[in-house]
Amino acid sequence: MQFIETRGNDGQKPVSVSFSEAILSPSASFGGLYVPKSLPSLDQAYLESHLESHYKTLAIDFLEKFGIDIDREVLKEALKRYDAFDDPSNPVPLTQVEEDCFVSELYHGPTRAFKDMALQPFGYVLSRLAQEKNENYLIMAATSGDTGPATLETFKNQKNVKVACLYPDGGTSDVQRLQMVTEDGENLKVIGVKGNFDDTQNTLKELLASEDFKAELKAHNIKLSAANSVNFGRIIFQIIYHIHSYLELVRKKAITMGEKIYLVVPSGNFGNALGAYYAKKAGLPIEKILISSNINNILTDWINKGEYDLTIRTLVQTESPAMDILKSSNVERIMYDKFGPERTKELMDELASNGKYKLTDDEVAAIQEDFSASFSDDAECENVIGVYANKGYIMDPHTATCMKAYQTLREKPLKTVVYSTAEWTKFSPAVSKALGKEVKGDIAALKEVSESANVNVPDMINALFDKPIKHTVVVDKENIKGEMLSFL
């Protein structure tokens, strides 16, 4: 399988690259991204063949069907990372919350968020590639709260890899911050940034594309890569759990093979939704992908009106911080697939120069073939959390945004899978408030929710509050580069 570029080729980079090349060096021509030249078929025969498959069996077959240039034994070792999840036999449980609605719980890994599903195996694969090539890599990650902990966890003490993780100071939950600043691996550097997630992500993209920065790294015999969903190594693992969700519905006899379903995806950087889109395009029977956002609802405007306008928006901090994003990287991959590289480059250049772009009516219609969108504010999410708590199910604020989409966007009475991207423990003050008791601090909130809702707090969350703080640096975005070079 070869990978090509969303904005076309600049004549300097290869016209196409292998999977391993795309994940080791994820920055494409003109600042674009890599996308697969084609997708494997997920037809009914393929789905039937995996009806009784373990998650890891499905995953390795899908990866090999994709034709990636990674040795089977390396993939098998990478997928063993799922053995450390809560239930190794089923790392992604599907829980029914309504007669026609099921929650895919993607958060049962070591950092209690969906990023573990992709980053646990991805980290192993990238480290092995670096060792095989006898090369050293700096992995950069910008996080709105979940990518950072998952990246640090997967690369901790891995050979031939160092990690610099950027997070917006004050823009994550306390648990998310502690998961990062208490990490003690010698190959890890965590940097707080004065600003929001878009500031950290913009800096990451600029450094990935900077020839000067790469030259400085080269002097240290270090190459540059990324763990954000700009890296297709993340996306390929995120396609798999959408297939798994469908098969789980068939196994539960909630649907028959071939019956279409809705997927509801809470979206910030759009990587999770992109994985669903690729699964749909490859043949998974999905009626539509329903996108839910918080009050930073730029994706809603993009899908419903074809408008992407940063000039009229200021990022708002919410109780669902992983979606406090205005520049959603993976929207570009959708536009490439719909409109081609020339138009994608034109739109992305317009966004860079003018802070906005507008799709044509035909282009909006093309997006709406696959997507619908809605958004919820914090008050709506708190109400949803309270409603489902009374039914015996505790969800986090990101998952709560999905229920409005489930209730209002479906045009057909089809079974629906909602993706829960984080465990409630990462956002316990918001959950406690939704349950009727506002408390200060995560420790008190975790105790309150645990006792009032009779749910357990995992040991890895409780242990965070006793760990020593290892990373205390907070800098202006202009000083990120210097801080990274100092670390190296």
Q: Helix, strand, or coil here: 482?
A: helix
Q: Does residue 46 contact residue 240 with C-beta atoms inside 8 Å? A: no
pLDDT recorded at residue 189: 96
DSSP element (H, E) containing 286: strand 286-293
Name the β-bridge partners of 422: 113
Percent share of the chain, pLDDT over 90: 88
Query: What would the DSSP string read from start to end of 361-387?
Result: HHHHHHHHTTEEEEE--HHHHHHHHHH
> Strand ranges (DSSP E) for 60-210?
94-98, 101-105, 137-142, 161-168, 188-194
Pair of tokens at residue 296? 């930073």
Would 187 be classed as within a structural domain?
Answer: no
The Cα 38–Cα 61 span in angstroms is 17
Q: How far is CA 483 from CA 170, 475, 486, in A?
A: 19, 8, 5
Pair of tokens at residue 145? 């709260």
Would 464 be classed as within a structural domain?
Answer: no
DSSP element (H, E) containing 72: helix 72-79
Listed in sequence order, the residues at least 6 apart from 128 whose beta carbon sits closer than 8 Å to its beta carbon are: 74, 77, 78
Pair of tokens at residue 412? 């057909």
Name the β-bridge partners of 194: 476
pLDDT at 200 over 90: no
- Per residue in 372-430, pLDDT (tens digit) is 999 999 999 999 999 999 999 999 999 999 999 999 999 999 999 999 999 999 999 99
> How do 2-5 and 101-105 pair as beta strands?
unpaired
pLDDT recorded at residue 106: 98
Task: Give mean pLDDT, residues 84-108.
Answer: 97
User: Checking phi first, is residue 370 left (phi over 0); if not, alpha (psi -120 to 50) or beta?
Assistant: alpha
Least confident range of 59-68, 315-324, 361-370: 315-324
Report field, pTM of the whole predicted structure over 0.85:
yes
Listed in sequence order, the residues at least 6 apart from 477 whose beta carbon sits closer than 8 Å to its beta carbon are: 193, 194, 195, 199, 200, 202, 203
First vs last Cα of the chain: how many Å apart?
A: 34
User: Checking phi first, is residue 389 left (phi over 0); if not, alpha (psi -120 to 50) or beta?
Assistant: alpha
> Strand ranges (DSSP E) for 124-219?
137-142, 161-168, 188-194
- Contacts of 361-364 spanning 24+ positions with Cβ under 8 A: 361/306, 363/306, 363/338, 363/339, 364/305, 364/306
Query: How open is the CA angle 485-487-488, to the nearest 5 degrees?
Result: 65
SS3 content of the chain, % helix, strand, coil (to 5): 50, 15, 35
Count of CB atoms within 10 A of residue 61's CB? 16
Task: Give mean pLDDT, residues 429-444.
Answer: 94
pLDDT recorded at residue 37: 97
Q: Helix, strand, or coil here: 271?
A: helix
The Cα 215–Cα 414 span in angstroms is 53
Read off the DSSP letter of residue 113. Answer: B
Q: Which pLDDT band, with edges at 50, 70 and 90, does 198 fall under?
A: confident
pLDDT recorded at residue 203: 85
Would 52 be classed as within a structural domain?
Answer: no
What is the tally of structural domains in the chain? 1
Pair of tokens at residue 300? 């809603």
Domain that holds residue 407: 80-113+233-456
Average pLDDT along the chain: 95
Q: Which pLDDT band, with edges at 50, 70 and 90, does 11 fall under?
A: very high
Listed in sequence order, the residues at least 6 apart from 454 whose beta carbon sits closer than 8 Å to its beta carbon are: none
Would 355 be classed as within a structural domain?
Answer: yes
Pair of tokens at residue 48? 């039937």
pLDDT recorded at residue 206: 86
Would 428 be classed as within a structural domain?
Answer: yes
Count of CB atoms within 10 A of residue 358's CB? 13
Q: Helix, strand, or coil here: 269?
A: coil
The Cα 406–Cα 387 span in angstroms is 15
Taken in order 459, 461, 466, 471, the sign of the CA dihedral is positive
pLDDT recorded at residue 488: 84
pLDDT recorded at residue 270: 95
Q: Does residue 448 contact residue 182 with C-beta atoms inside 8 Å? A: no
Residues annotated as catalytic are 115
The amino acid occupying position 479 is N
DSSP element (H, E) containing 240: helix 232-251
Would 424 be classed as within a structural domain?
Answer: yes
> Please, where are the H alpha helices in 313-360?
331-339, 341-354
The Cα 48–Cα 61 span in angstroms is 13
pLDDT at 228 over 90: no
Pair of tokens at residue 180? 């990062």
The CATH number of whichever domain residue 370 belongs to comes to: 3.40.50.1100
Would 394 be classed as within a structural domain?
Answer: yes
pLDDT recorded at residue 81: 97
Count of CB atoms within 10 A of residue 437's CB? 12
Gyration radius (Cα) of the chain, Å: 21
